[in-house]
Amino acid sequence: MASFQDRVVGAIRLQAATFEEVEHDTTAMSQAGLVVLGAAVAGAIGALQYGFFGVGGLVLGIVFALIGWAIGAAVIWIVGTRLLPGKNTQADYQEVLRTVGFAQAPGLLAVLGIIPYLGSLIRVVVSIWTLVALVIAVRQALDYDDTIKAVIVCVIAWAIMLAATLMVGVLGLGAAALGGSMMP
């Protein structure tokens, strides 16, 4: 069994074997959570040149990253096991949660976004890198034979998450407007 550092490096290197190992290691959940937490903090540090939102903003960002990880993994798991299962798909939510958590490992490099003039480019590269890691993680967690199916699952899950986020935003704005109209 690889060490935590080896797993992080393996995930950054996009090594399918790392995601496969994490999928089957039931003790790796806290490690996956640390990767998500670290990527959230690294992203916040990398974005400092655009303004700091204070400690409260950092904490809120971390909370949203952890909640997004849990909900995103659930959506991927449902789409991948119920809508588009492969012939070998046998995955539980925890397996998907662990692999999706480690797929955030390239996000640790987002801390380099603080570099003047290169920060925006670095963030774009890290985002694409993380997306590729997610596809590999999904492919391994759902035991797909091809990558295209994993890409399709990620796109569908992204669309569902986007729609849900927009709905929550619209409902929040509606509630705020309703609450404001009820004020004297």
- Which pLDDT belongs to residue 49? 73
Measure Cα distances from 71 to 19, 78, 99, 162, 169 in Å. Answer: 19, 11, 14, 12, 16
- Count of domains forming the chain: 1
Rounded distance between C-alpha atoms, residue 26 and residue 49, angstroms: 39
- pLDDT score of 53 more than 90: no
Mean pLDDT for the chain? 91
Q: Are 64 and 38 in contact (CB under 8 A)?
A: no
Question: Which pLDDT tens digit goes with each residue over 9-32?
Answer: 999 999 999 999 999 999 999 999
**Interval 91-112 mean pLDDT:** 97
Question: Which pLDDT tens digit goes with each residue over 37-52?
Answer: 999 999 988 887 776 6
- Which pLDDT belongs to residue 31? 98
- Taking phi over 0 as left and psi of -120 to 50 as alpha, with beta for the rest, 82 belongs to alpha
For helices 93-102 and 54-78, the axis angle rounded to 10 degrees is 130
Alpha helices in 13-79 (DSSP H): 16-24, 29-46, 54-78
pTM: 0.90
- Which pLDDT belongs to residue 158? 96
Domain of residue 38: give its range. Answer: 4-181
